[in-house]
Amino acid sequence: MFVLVEMVDTVRIPPWQFERKLNDSIAEELNKKLANKVVYNVGLCICLFDITKLEDAYVFPGDGASHTKVHFRYVVFHPFLDEILIGKIKGCSPEGVHVSLGFFDDILIPPESLQQPAKFDEAEQVWVWEYETEEGAHDLYMDTGEEIRFRVVDESFVDTSPTGPSSAEATSSSEELPKKEAPYTLVVRDLEGAARTAG
């Protein structure tokens, strides 16, 4: 589920923090910059693992702060393809079932990946698995809060950095919707026979 990512960055320490140990200041700055944020094509950053190398710190003219190039490793949430995970159902919509892991919410089970046959109950806004046995069909509801086991099928990263001024006029006439896209989404498949045995 979690991987270690090696990164390099330049960290700026303002003068009023010079009395603190450099390592502590740098760790705090890196966590402030990356924790709980998605890095494009890497994953959701959790916390700093360690600092592997500190290069010389420089003070540039006009700015009293020190700039240090840091090589470090960060713990990132990035499940590999076909990994099995257990999460809680957050809700259902016509797009599919939304699952959450607590710290990561943008997981979607599209309708084709649910156990078949499945149908969407409009009245209760919930997906239902119609399980056929000899006695007849049992309806198993995908209720909110239930634990569900799933396999990662696909992931998508969206670059949500702000667009430049030249495209501002083009987008100002369109709706606000594109800005709400999640930077990192997982598309998963519900698992045969194991969905009900989790938890």
Partner 1 sequence: MEVKDASSALLSNYEVFQLLTDLKEQRKESGKNKHSSGQQNLNTITYETLKYISKTPCRHQSPEIVREFLTAMKSHKLTKAEKLQLLNHRPVTAVEIQLMVEESEERLTEEQIEALLHTVMSILPAGPEDEQKKNASSDMAVDEEDPA
Give the binding range for partner 1 (CB under 8 A) out of 56-64, 75-83, 89-97, 123-131. 75-83
Does residue 103 touch partner 1 according to CB under 8 A? yes
Does residue 80 touch partner 1 according to CB under 8 A? yes
Give the binding range for partner 1 (CB under 8 A) out of 30-38, 120-128, 159-167, 175-183. 30-38
Nearer to partner 1, 120 or 148 (CB): 148
Q: What count of other Cβ atoms lies within 10 Å of the Cβ of residue 183?
A: 16
Name which position in 12, 67, 90, 151 contacts partner 1 (CB under 8 A): 151
Does residue 197 touch partner 1 according to CB under 8 A? yes
Does residue 174 touch partner 1 according to CB under 8 A? no
Does residue 75 touch partner 1 according to CB under 8 A? yes
Name which position in 38, 101, 148, 188 contacts partner 1 (CB under 8 A): 101
What angle is formed at CA 78 by the lines to CA 74 and CA 84, rounded to 5 degrees?
A: 140
Does residue 54 touch partner 1 according to CB under 8 A? no
Question: Please, which residues have CB within 8 angstroms of residue 49's CB and are 6 or more apart in sequence?
Answer: 4, 72, 73, 74, 75
What are the distances in angstroms from CA 74 to CA 47, 55, 77, 78, 135? 6, 18, 10, 12, 53
The residues binding partner 1 (CB under 8 A) are 1-9, 28, 31-32, 35-37, 39, 41-42, 46-47, 49, 71, 73, 75, 77-78, 80, 82-84, 86, 101-103, 149, 151, 191, 193-194, 197, 199
